[in-house]
Structure 1
């Protein structure tokens, strides 16, 4: 598509593949208001656990005062834990227990989730990544302390748990929600083929599971070469470093990402800035 279709960051005529699920319409409208033609292909849905017992057990330990520290990796994780607490009639008690612990968070989303409960973080990681959390842990003495660690699905994060142990702590992990495939496999397959044919100007990834879903479908349908070709033919926008790492692991190259604030609006602005530079 000709660069003449974009004027000073205008997205008019740009076809953008949008794999977002939870905030799909919000994200698509952010780009459509600048003239983009968004192709919606939601990849991943976030669901409650089929069996909330592991989350309930973790909350039992929190309420018993077993956790000296709590690490929150995602805002969604805290909200899902509170959903379990609310169902059990223990919401106020869980909020109070979190308020008594030292809480370390990975980034702005768990900060926001804490604020919704009237709480604040003891420490925020310098970068919203596992490495950032580990860097923050390097400044904490965890000797003899038990640390509740909220993980996210499909990542047991042994590196982080080992880092807690290396600082003298005992980690107790919980994964309070799960991912489910959202789009029909056929729609994802069509998106891969369209990427390979160069029919998109950008694909805008907002979460690493979206990248993994593309890979899973490509492997299942014999389209890995097409996916690699599509990643080469399509400029890739990534909302932050975790997503960028997933893209690189798949063999792609990230063309644009926000420099510091890893949200959807800064991602849209980063795409527009890239176009404005030509």
Structure 2
């Protein structure tokens, strides 16, 4: 099985948020990293556009709201919460048709309990968003008033297409990116590219490309930079970033199989040296000539570039190299950090799914929790918003139910649907996949859930993968059990407080009406049934009435 390694290649990354992580990954794959921060997140000078959107949303002026990023959802709510009641805003959003680009905005909206009407799978560009809107809404789109949450910079193509299709289009800028305060490291990186000191360039967002070429234009070397980049290995994280690179006349060599940092670095380590050798042989660069001085390859201008950039195939055997860059202890540390956070259980479980997908390059991942005698889907890698918290599997049903019943892991490398334990679920198209790995989530020897990984193509799970997932299952099991006990404690506390309140209300009725305790309880019970209120609510009303009488007398 191929081992992923840069074998000493000089690798440039313009990552800002996760600079340390990407540097560590490049070193883990024997690369020589140059990580230069290319942007900083800055607040908008004015939030008037977002506040105006809130006013118009409450006035019922929008039919469709498009969310392009998960961060954008959070930032928008932060801004709107400064001027409006958040729950009122959310109630209005729940009445609209919501369009989300990819799983991140879906996850953010799900946390806010805002249902999503149209979702694109990732990686996706504005074209996929538009195509699905056309498919979902058809001719009705021409009558819709649409708002678009922007993600750092305006997408003129998307806005132009929406203007042609819709009654009105409103842009909602909620955050933006600026150049770093100190651009000297970026300038130095540009010089290193042009001097031929860089072998591989990783572009993880479109803004990285925009800022790199902006600085190059200010330096007066934009064309030299483009020529230099065309002679090294250029990797784009996905279609949106690829489009921006094509805009500058630069054709990426490939996109990773998953638009994630870990997959990108791993697959760059696998294929970069081979791609670099081929490009150097094709261009026959003299060793004494810098990349910037070399002649550009034929048909390298933007208008002739192909828009179809090859993507590394999913579920290939070479993906096993991904394990080499993430040591088991590092992965367990990530899991432990997620579990130790104070976030809600849903958020924690979603993060665990992300960590699991980093260990095994799967095409889908489901995390079920055992509640009474049913396994309930609580987290998913793929967007199954309508199934989360609703899909239930009986213990013993299908491979997942079998694992819960027997407390044993199951690894099926191919033809999973032919296994005698297999049971299809019509709402989950992943059940047509070839390979599967299921492990029980345990706490104190008791099953509290199941982790289910699936692959579109045959996949032979290693012993290390199985053991690491089993360990994660134990960690997650402890967190699920803690959450269950916490819920039970809250319920017990609520029942205790209710009992105290009911007893107090009974005492008031006994005193005022000169009746027995049993008669007072039956009277409250009758009132509860007639008014369709809980006993606690009836008791609360009696106690409140008593308090008001006492206040009036004093």
TM range (shorter): 0.7 to 0.9
| TM-score, scaled to structure 1 | 0.87
In 2: Cα distance, 1:275 partner to 1:218 partner: 25
Bigger Cα displacement from structure 2, 12-21 vs 39-48: 12-21
**Residue in 1 aligned with 2:179?**
181
* Residue 124 (structure 2) aligned to one of 121, 128, 135: 128
CA–CA separation in structure 2 for the residues paired with 1:72 and 1:230: 36
> Cα RMSD (Å) of the superposition?
2.3
The equivalent of 2:500 in structure 1 is: none
**Secondary structure of 1:254 counterpart:** coil
More helix by share: 2
Structure 1 residue 86: Cα displacement: 2.9
Instruction: Call closer, same or farther: CA 1:156–1:255 in 2, change over 3 Å.
Output: closer
- Tell me the SS of whatever aligns to 1:204: strand
| 3-state SS, counterpart of residue 148 of structure 1 | strand
Range with bigger deviation, 87-96 or 231-240: 87-96
Q: How far did residue 184 of structure 1 move? A: 2.2
The residue that corresponds to 2:463 in the other structure is none
C-alpha spacing 1:223/1:80, structure 2 compared with 1 (3 Å): same
Larger RCO: 1 or 2 (CA < 8 Å, sep 6+): 1
1:269 aligns with 2:242: no
Structure 1 residues 118 and 276: CA distance shift in structure 2, 3 A = farther
Displacement of 1:48 in angstroms is 1.9
1:148 aligns with 147
1:24 counterpart = 2:19: yes
Aligned-partner Cα distance in 2 for 1:95–1:199: 51
Mind listing any 5+ residue stretches in structure 2 that lack a counterpart? 276-554
Partner of 1:103: 98
C-alpha contact (below 8 Å) 1:149/1:174 kept by paired residues = yes
Give the match for residue 82 of structure 1.
77
Structure 1 pair 206–51 and aligned structure 2 pair: CA distance change class (3 A): same
Contact 2:146–2:166 (CA under 8 A) maintained in structure 1: no
Which segment drifts farther, 23-32 or 139-148? Answer: 23-32
Larger Rg: 2
1:33: how far off? 3.0
* Matched ranges for 1:1-278 at <5 A: 8-88=3-83, 90-125=85-120, 128-139=124-135, 140=137, 141-157=140-156, 159-182=157-180, 184-259=182-257, 261-275=258-272
CA distance in 1, matches of 2:120, 2:96: 17
1:95 positional shift: 2.4
Contact 2:120 2:132 in 1 (8 A): yes
Measure, in 1, the Cα distance between the counterparts of 2:86 and 2:28.
39
Contact map agreement 1:59 1:94 (CA 8 A) in 2? yes
**1:70, distance to aligned residue in structure 2 (A):** 0.7
The SS at the match of 1:21 is coil
Aligned mates of 2:181, 2:31 — CA distance in 1: 21
Corresponding residue for residue 4 of structure 1: none
For 2:153 and 2:166, locate their aligned partners in 1 and report how far apart those are by CA, in whole Å.
26
CA distance in structure 2 between the aligned counterparts of 1:160 and 1:229, rounded to whole angstroms: 29
TM-score by length of 2: 0.46
How far off is 1:149 after superposition? 1.3
